Structure 1
């Protein structure tokens, strides 16, 4: 199993569409006893939260966010936790909006530098 996410900061490796997370978004993860949660913000996101579970290297969570334009959105994501050769963590994600149409894939990786 890949390392714990507790205390890690992750960021997308590429920008998504406007109003979604992007390379300036930072996720602060927590993990305890199979539960995961994170706070996130940056870019088009004023504040976001996710909560879910971890079973082995699989995360299953729901997310909700407030965007800079004042709109809100929520969705569901399933991710695979991958340990990178340099010791950092990557999440390979498949997500879908529950508050509207749309779905996709994304990748977030552990960062060691502060948010831009």
Structure 2
């Protein structure tokens, strides 16, 4: 099983469309007893939160965020937790907006150090 996400800082490896998370966005993850949650900000996101569950290497969570243009958005994401050869954590994500149109995939990795 992959290590706990608790206390890890992660960032996307590539930019998404404008108004979404990107390489300047930083996530601060927490995990306890199968629950996961995180705060995130940076780039086009002023403040974001996610909350959900973890079962093995699968995360299932909802997210909500405030963007720099003053709008809010929310959605659902399922992620697979992987361990990179250098020991860092990688999340392979499949997400869908619930408050607006759109869906996609993204990759988020633990920051070095």
**TM-score after normalising by structure 2:** 0.99
> The residue matched to 1:6 in structure 2 has which SS?
coil
Return structure 1 stretches of 4+ with deviation > 4 angstroms: none
Paired position in structure 2 for 1:46:
46
Q: How far apart are the structure 2 equivalents of 1:80 and 1:22? A: 19
User: Whole-Å Cα distance in 2 between the matches of residues 49 and 61 of structure 1?
Assistant: 10
Partner of 2:99: 99
Gaps of 5+ in 2: none
Residue 74 (structure 2) aligns with: 74
How much has 1:81 moved relative to structure 2? Answer: 0.1
Gaps of 5+ in 1: none
**What SS does structure 2 have at the residue aligned with 1:95?**
strand
Instruction: Determine the C-alpha separation between the residues in 1 that align with 2:95 and 2:2.
Output: 21
RMSD: 0.7
Q: What is the distance in 2 between the residues matched to 1:3 and 1:99? A: 32
Contact 2:88 2:112 in 1 (8 A): no
| Number of corresponding residues | 113
3-state secondary structure, aligned to 2:23 = coil
Within 5 Å, which residues of 2 pair with 1:1-116?
A: 1-112=1-112
